[in-house]
Structure 1
Amino acid sequence: MDLDVFISAHRAEWDRLEELLRRRRRLSGREADELVTLYQRTATHLSQVQSSAPDPALAGHLTSLVARARSTVTGARKASWRDVAQFFAAGFPAAVYRTRHWWVPTALLSVLVAALIGWWIGTHPEVRSVIAAPEQLRDMTRPGGQYESYYSSHPATSFAAQVWTNNAQAAAVCLVLGALLGVPVLWVLLQNMLNLGIGIGLMESAGRLDVFLGLILPHGLLELTAVFVAAGTGLRLGWTVIDPGPRSRREALGAEGRAAIGMAIGLAAVLFVSGVVEGFVTPSGLPTWARITIGVVCELLFLAYVYVLGGRAVKAGETGDVAAEDRPATVPTAA
Structure 2
Amino acid sequence: MDVDAFAAAHGAEWQRLRTLLRRRRSKLTPAEVDELVVLYRRAATHLSIVQSRSPDPELTAALTRLVLAARAAVTPSTGFRWAGVGRFFTTAFPLEVYRAGRWCAGTGGAFVALSVLLIAIVAGNPEIPLRVMSPDEITSLVEHDFEAYYSGAAAQNFGFAVWTNNAWISAICLASGVIVLPAVYVLWQNALNLGLVGGVMVGNGRTDLFLSLLLVHGLLELTCVFVAAGVGLRIGWSWLAPGPLRTRGQAVAAAGRSGLVVALGLVPVLLVSGVIEAFVTPAPLPAVVKLVVGTLAWLGFLAYVVVCGGIAHRAGQTADVDAADREAVAPTA
- Normalized against structure 2, the TM-score is what? 0.82
Q: Is the 8 A contact 1:171 1:226 kept in 2?
A: yes
Q: Is the 8 A contact 2:21 2:69 kept in 1?
A: no
Deviations 1:176-212, CA, capped at 9 Å, x for gaps: 11111x1011111111111211222111122111111
Secondary structure of residue in 1 paired with 2:128? helix
Q: Is the 8 A contact 2:21 2:73 kept in 1?
A: no
The corresponding residue for 2:208 is 210
Q: Does 1:133 align with 2:134?
A: yes
Q: Is the 8 A contact 2:162 2:274 kept in 1?
A: yes
The corresponding residue for 1:6 is none
The corresponding residue for 2:151 is 152
CA distance in 1 between counterparts of 2:296 and 2:215 reads 11
The one-letter amino acid of 1:22's match is R
The corresponding residue for 1:72 is 73
The one-letter amino acid of 1:217's match is L
Deviations 1:263-321, CA, capped at 9 Å, x for gaps: 11111221111011111111111221111111100110110011111111111223432
The corresponding residue for 1:221 is 219
The corresponding residue for 2:294 is 295
Cα distance change, pair 161–64 in 1 and its aligned pair in 2 (3 A): same
Q: Could you tell me which runs of 5 or more consecutive residues in structure 1 were left unpaired when the two chains were aligned.
A: 2-8
CA distance in 2 between counterparts of 1:189 and 1:307 reads 25
Q: Is the 8 A contact 2:170 2:224 kept in 1?
A: yes
Q: Is the 8 A contact 1:121 1:128 kept in 2?
A: yes
Q: Is the 8 A contact 2:171 2:228 kept in 1?
A: yes
Deviations 1:110-133, CA, capped at 9 Å, x for gaps: 111111111111111111221312
1:173-212 superposed matches below 5 A: 173-180=172-179, 182-212=180-210
1:17-96 superposed matches below 5 A: 17=20, 21-22=23-24, 26=26, 31-37=29-35, 40=38, 68-96=69-97
CA distance in 1 between counterparts of 2:71 and 2:88 reads 27
The corresponding residue for 2:231 is 233
The one-letter amino acid of 1:17's match is L
Q: CA deviation at 1:159?
A: 1.0
The one-letter amino acid of 2:24's match is R
Q: CA deviation at 1:134?
A: 1.4
The corresponding residue for 2:254 is 255
Q: Does 1:117 align with 2:118?
A: yes
The one-letter amino acid of 1:236's match is R
Q: Is the 8 A contact 1:256 1:321 kept in 2?
A: no
Deviations 1:246-272, CA, capped at 9 Å, x for gaps: 221111111001101211111122111
Cα distance change, pair 297–41 in 1 and its aligned pair in 2 (3 A): closer
- Kindly tell me the number of residue pairs found equivalent between the two proteins: 314
Q: CA deviation at 1:162?
A: 1.0
Deviations 1:45-102, CA, capped at 9 Å, x for gaps: 997xxx9xx9x9xx96x98777545433334433432222211111111111111111
CA distance in 2 between counterparts of 1:193 and 1:92 reads 27
The corresponding residue for 1:5 is none
Secondary structure of residue in 1 paired with 2:319? coil
Secondary structure of residue in 2 paired with 1:85? helix
CA distance in 2 between counterparts of 1:326 and 1:186 reads 32
What is the percentage of aligned positions where both structures have the same residue?
42
The one-letter amino acid of 1:183's match is L
The one-letter amino acid of 2:298's match is E
- For the aligned residue pairs, the C-alpha RMSD in angstroms reads 3.4
Cα distance change, pair 75–135 in 1 and its aligned pair in 2 (3 A): closer
Secondary structure of residue in 2 paired with 1:152? coil
Cα distance change, pair 86–160 in 1 and its aligned pair in 2 (3 A): same
The one-letter amino acid of 2:92's match is G
CA distance in 1 between counterparts of 2:322 and 2:315 reads 14
CA distance in 1 between counterparts of 2:40 and 2:88 reads 38
- Normalized against structure 1, the TM-score is what? 0.82
Q: Could you tell me which runs of 5 or more consecutive residues in structure 2 were left unpaired when the two chains were aligned.
A: 5-11, 51-55
Secondary structure of residue in 2 paired with 1:126? coil
The one-letter amino acid of 2:85's match is V
